[in-house]
Each structure stands twice: as structure tokens, then as C-alpha cells.
Amino acid sequence: MRIAIIGAGRIGGGIARQLGAAGHELMLSFSREPAKLAELAGQLGARAGTGSPAEAAGFGEVVVISVPWSTLPQALEQAGPLAGKIVIDTTNQFGGPPLPPAGQTAAVFNAARMPGARYTKSFNTLTSAFQAETAGRTGDQRVVQWLCGDDAGAKQVVAGLIEDAGFAPADLGGTAGCAVMEAPRRPGAVYGEEYRAADAAPVIEAVRAGRPIPPAPSYA
Ligand SMILES: NC(=O)c1ccc[n+]([C@@H]2O[C@H](COP(=O)([O-])OP(=O)(O)OC[C@H]3O[C@@H](n4cnc5c(N)ncnc54)[C@H](OP(=O)(O)O)[C@@H]3O)[C@@H](O)[C@H]2O)c1
């Protein structure tokens, strides 16, 4: 697929590396140092074009948005309309404002900032170093990337990309019910915790039933 990356830093650059290795076509964008962006694109066999988020969003069937929270308004303004695009939002609500009002997930808040986009959220719960180290694990060691969104077709595509990136997708449901995959790290949440597919299933069941999730697993 054609994948646009808006913010090819630690997380966005890692996703670009993983999806590029899986054969997807990439365009990187959004940097204060265009030469650095072009160099990374060269290393990954990706395009950088002019570095403009609008150009990348025009190229991508899927748009990965991976910028610091406080930079998101600027990145979205530069991207222009994302209506019809499958979006993967990796951001966490550190910084701001604007911040989601109490009781609203960051996913609901951000989806509203991208009108018409086929919004999903993923790749946000584990550190970039851990993601880079564990991508491609096989069998029952494969690490989960949680996923939420309100567009089932978009989530199906993103679940495939999560597999291609070397992880196991675990769909928590809609954006309104995904608080457990959002910052901060705390008991009763999956944010910041390693999960493998077998331990993800009871979490999905609990979230969908509106129950507290089981304690986070720990792996030797
Ligand atoms: N780091 C983690 O472990 C981690 C884990 C999970 C989720 N996340 C979330 O994922 C998102 C991205 O985090 P990250 O750690 O990957 O960030 P990062 O390494 O700082 O990357 C951010 C990217 O955005 C670009 N950028 C930042 N400000 C810009 C500006 N004003 N104009 C143009 N380009 C700009 C940077 O390009 P230049 O530096 O070249 O300008 C960089 O490529 C955040 O919302 C974070 O909360 C991070």
C-alpha cells in the first residue's frame, strides 16, 4: 500500500522502517530539518518529496500521524483535509492544550480534529525502543499492538499493517471505549505494558463488556 508518514521520528520512523521492509511504498514528511528527512527516506527506500504533509497525505492511502501532541494542530493544518484517508494516530496526550475534556478519550478528541478521516489509533502504548526491538517476534512471543477506531474497514486494513510491521493486532473496539490504551501508565490499563495475543483476548472481552480488565501480564 501507499503509506504517508507525518512525523518520521522515533515512532513514525520505526513504523516506516517496518512497513518499508514489508514492501509498502512510503512517503515521509514533516520535519524542521528537510535534509535529515531526505537522508532517512534514502536509507529506507522511501520518498520524501518536498517534505510537505499535504503532499504525503495526497500520496498515501494510509496516513500515519506521529508527532508530539502539542505539534498536532500544526501538522494537521499542513496536511490539509484527510477526509476518506485511513489514518493511524500514534499520539499520546502529553503536552497541549488543547487537551480532551475529562471523560473523553484522546482518540475521540483527535478523530474530531480530522473530519471525514477513517480514523484509527495504534502503535502508541509501547516505547519506540521496545517496538524496534520486538517487531518481528514470532509465535506466542509476538507482541500486541492495540488498535481502536469506529470504521471497521479501516481497522481491518490497519490490522493487516500491524501484522506486516511484525506485531499482533488486538482490536479494543471504538474510539469512545479505548481509554485503557491511552496514557498515562496505570493499574487497570494496557498502556505501557507488553501483551501477547493470548493475554489480549480477555482484555478485549472485558473492555467490550464494560468491565475492568485483568491485571497486566508479566513475561519472564
Ligand atoms: N517515543 C516513544 O517511545 C513513543 C511511544 C508511543 C507513542 N509515542 C507518541 O508518538 C508521537 C511521536 O512521538 P516520537 O517519540 O516519535 O516523537 P519524535 O521522535 O520527536 O518525532 C516527531 C517527529 O515530528 C517532527 N516534528 C516535530 N516538531 C515539528 C515541527 N514543529 N515542524 C516539523 N516537524 C516537526 C520531527 O521532525 P524533526 O525532528 O526532523 O524536526 C520528528 O520527525 C507522540 O505523540 C508520542 O507521544 C511516542
Measured from the Cα of 127, ligand 1's closest atom is 3
Q: Name the percent of the chain lying above pLDDT 90.
A: 98
Nearest to 171 by CA among 141, 134, 145: 145
Ligand 1: centre distance to CA 10 (Å): 6
Q: Ligand 1 pocket, 96 CB below 6 A?
A: no
Q: Ligand 1 pocket, 53 CB below 6 A?
A: no
Ligand 1: centre distance to CA 172 (Å): 25
Measured from the Cα of 14, ligand 1's closest atom is 16
Q: Ligand 1 pocket, 36 CB below 6 A?
A: yes
Distance, CA of 80 to CA of 58 (rounded, Å): 9
Going by pLDDT thresholds of 50, 70 and 90, the confidence category of residue 210 is very high
Residues 129-171: pLDDT tens digits?
999 999 999 999 999 999 999 999 999 999 999 999 999 999 9
Residues 55-87: pLDDT tens digits?
999 999 999 999 999 999 999 999 999 999 999
- pLDDT at position 96 is 82
Cα distances from 150 to residues 63, 128, 186, in angstroms, run 16, 26, 25
CATH classification at residue 56: 3.40.50.720
216 domain-assigned: no
Q: Has residue 200 got a pLDDT over 90?
A: yes
The answer to whether 144 touches 177, Cβ cutoff 8 Å, is no
Residues 1-38: pLDDT tens digits?
999 999 999 999 999 999 999 999 999 999 999 999 99
- pLDDT at position 108 is 98
Cα distances from 185 to residues 9, 24, 210, in angstroms, run 22, 32, 19
Cα torsion at 107, 112, 115, 118 (round to 10°)? 20
Instruction: Provide the whole-model pTM.
Output: 0.99
Neighbours of 188 (CB within 10 A): 12
Ligand 1: centre distance to CA 176 (Å): 25
214 domain-assigned: no
Give the residue numbers spanning the domain of 72: 2-209
Instruction: Name the H helices within the chain.
Output: 10-21, 34-44, 53-59, 72-79, 106-112, 128-134, 152-165, 197-209
75 domain-assigned: yes
- pLDDT at position 190 is 98
Structural domain count, the chain: 1
23 domain-assigned: yes
219 domain-assigned: no
159 domain-assigned: yes
Q: Name the percent of the chain lying above pLDDT 70.
A: 100
217 domain-assigned: no
Segment (H or E) for 27: strand 25-29
Q: Has residue 220 got a pLDDT over 90?
A: no
Looking at residue 130, its amino acid is F
DSSP output for 184-204: SP-TT--TT---BHHHHHHHH
Q: Ligand 1 pocket, 70 CB below 6 A?
A: no
Ligand 1: centre distance to CA 55 (Å): 19
Max Cα distance, the chain (Å): 49
Distance, CA of 144 to CA of 203 (rounded, Å): 12
Q: Ligand 1 pocket, 8 CB below 6 A?
A: yes
Measured from the Cα of 31, ligand 1's closest atom is 34
- pLDDT at position 110 is 98
- pLDDT at position 68 is 98
220 domain-assigned: no
